[in-house]
Amino acid sequence: MPTNWRWDFATLAAVTNQWPPAERPAGRFASWALWTVQSFDYLPGPDLPVERADGGGSEVLELARIRWAAASAATSIDLCAALLGIRHLGLHVDGRAAALTHLAGTDAKARANLARLPNPAQSWVTSVQADPGYHTVGLARNPFTHSALARNVHVTIGKTGPREYFAFGPNGTLMSSNEIVETACAVARLHVSAFFNGLRQQLY
């Protein structure tokens, strides 16, 4: 699944290598965020067969694509949040990393963490949190990791394409597996790119 991704390791390293030597180890979080977004290039395409070669159903592929996409999108954004935690909240590069929820949660500690960030970083966090697509990513990622969901299966005789639908859209509307994957890819690409642009401009 091509992502039209404009960042590569050399471009990102040119930014992080300008940091003071003591701060450069934290650049690995940016690198991992980059690689996580690039992993979307290796997802199977949306034109899935009705039946696999081994006789299994296409739902195996559809569910795998959703799980990979949602988990990758959430991870890429959490890695950016972890870098903010190291650079501005005093977290150790080898310690427990921050996630976006540590900066955008509703509890007092999360609010205090957010207030300690530079204003552009606060804006990045709130823009992610306000994105309906990021909400979809969370709705997909969490249950696909920790539970077994009720499925909505649409079958069209003689045609390939998505058959799995989940209520991850606005107000619980059903989204096809393809729509969920495309949303996750777009969310990761948009917000990680914006984060990298902020790093390049030395905003945080």
**Least confidently predicted of 11-25, 36-50, 149-163:** 149-163
Can you give the pLDDT at residue 44?
74
Which pTM value belongs to this model?
Answer: 0.86
Backbone angles phi, psi at 118, to 5 degrees: -60, 150
Which region among 65-69, 94-98, 143-147 has the lowest average model confidence (pLDDT)?
143-147
Contact assessment for residue 6 and residue 193, using Cβ atoms and an 8 Å cutoff: yes
Q: Which residue has the higher pLDDT, 125 or 166?
A: 125
d(C-alpha 43, C-alpha 66), whole Å: 10
Per-residue model confidence as pLDDT tens digits over 22-43: 999 999 999 999 999 999 988 8
Report the chain's mean pLDDT, rounded to a whole number.
85
